[in-house]
Amino acid sequence: MHDHQSPILWQDNGVPVSARFDDPYFSLTDGLAETRHVFLAGNGLPGRFRAGFHIAELGFGTGLNLLAALIAWRTAGAPGRLRFTSFEAYPMPPEDMARALAAFPEASAAAAPLLSAWRAGGRRVDTADLSAEIIIGDARKTLPHWQGRADAWFLDGFSPARNPELWEPGLMAEVARHTAPGGTAATYTAAGAVRRGLAGAGFEVTRLPGFGRKRHMTAAQAPK
Ligand SMILES: C[S@@+](CC[C@H](N)C(=O)[O-])C[C@H]1O[C@@H](n2cnc3c(N)ncnc32)[C@H](O)[C@@H]1O
C-alpha cells in the first residue's frame, strides 16, 4: 500500500507539494481562486450546469476541485445531483487531505462527506446533491475501461514537464472518447504538447488568459 502513496512536503503557506513529482498540488497564490478561473470558468461553468451534469478529472489530489465544483453547483441552485468522476494513481492519506483543505474554510465546510468516506477507505461520495467516484490507478490504464462520458473535463496533472504520463496524446484521445458531444475540457497549462495532443484528439483548442502569474491556459471543445 505504501508505495502507492505520495509523500507530501508542506510549504510554510500550507500548500502541499508532492515529493514524488516535486510539484505543488495547487496554486501557491490561491488554489480555490485558481480552480474557479481555470476549471470552472474554463469549462463555461456554472452556466452549463443542468440536472445530471457530469464532470471528470485527471488527478484528484486533495479533492479541492471537487469541492469547488460542488460549491458552485450549490451557489447556482443547480437541480439534482452533480456527477463527478476523478482518476487518481496515488490517493492522498486522509489526514493530509484534511490538512490541505483546512487552508480553504469554504472548501473545508463542504468537505465532511468526502473526508469521512476517505477515512473509511471509500472512494465514493453520495449525498443529496453529489454523486462522486474516484477511480484509483494509473489513468492510462483505468480511463480506457471507463463506461462514462463527461460534459466537462478538469485536466489537472502535475506540470507536463514533471508528470508527462498524465498528458500523453494517447490519454488525451481517451479523454476525447469519454467526452459528450459538444463537451469541454480545461487545463491550467498552455504547453504546446498538451494543446497539440488535445487538437489531435479532435478538440477545438483555445488559449485563454491564465490565472495569477500564468499568462495562458487552455480550453477545448469536442465537436457537437
Ligand atoms: C496537481 S495534482 C491534482 C490536484 C487536484 N485536482 C486537487 O484538487 O487537489 C495532480 C494529481 O495527479 C495524480 N497523478 C499523477 N500521475 C497520475 C497518473 N498516471 N494517473 C492518475 N493520477 C495521476 C497525482 O497523484 C496528483 O494527485
Q: Which three cell numbers stand for residue 62?
A: 486533495
Does pLDDT of 3 surpass 90?
no
Per the CATH hierarchy, to which homologous superfamily does domain 31-221 belong? Vaccinia Virus protein VP39 (3.40.50.150)
pLDDT-derived band of residue 27, with 50, 70 and 90 as boundaries?
A: confident
Average pLDDT for 165-180: 98
58 alpha carbon – ligand 1 mean position (Å): 6
Start-end of H helices in 77-185? 94-101, 105-109, 112-119, 139-142, 169-177
46 alpha carbon – ligand 1 mean position (Å): 23
Does pLDDT of 112 surpass 60?
yes
pLDDT score of 5: 64
Between CA 178 and CA 169 the distance in angstroms is 14
Average pLDDT for 92-104: 96
129 alpha carbon – ligand 1 mean position (Å): 24
156 alpha carbon – ligand 1 mean position (Å): 6
Q: Which of 4, 8, 17, 25 to mutate to test the pocket of ligand 1 (most atoms within 8 A of CB)?
A: 25
Q: Is the CB of 138 under 6 A from ligand 1?
A: yes
DSSP string of 60-94?
-TTSHHHHHHHHHHHHHT--S-EEEEEEESSPPPH
Any idea which of 3-7, 12-16, 40-44, 165-169 has the lowest mean pLDDT? 3-7
Using one digit for the tens of pLDDT, what is the confidence trace for 54-97?
999 999 999 999 999 999 999 999 999 999 999 999 999 999 99
Taking CA atoms only, the protein residue closest to ligand 1 atom 24 is: 59
In the block, which residue shows the cell 469521512?
A: 116
Closest CA to 140 of 99, 173, 100, 115: 173
Closest CA to 37 of 202, 196, 156, 132: 156
CA distances to 58, 87, 125, 148 from 90, rounded to whole Å, are 12, 10, 18, 22
Domain borders along the chain are: 31-221
Q: Looking at residue 143, what DSSP letter applies?
A: G
pLDDT score of 2: 44
81 alpha carbon – ligand 1 mean position (Å): 24
CA distances to 25, 79, 102, 196 from 73, rounded to whole Å, are 23, 9, 21, 31
**Residue 59 · residue 158 · CB < 8 Å:** yes
**Whether the predicted model's global pTM rises above the 0.95 cut:** yes
CA torsion through residues 81, 204, 27, 137, sign = positive
Taking CA atoms only, the protein residue closest to ligand 1 atom 11 is: 59
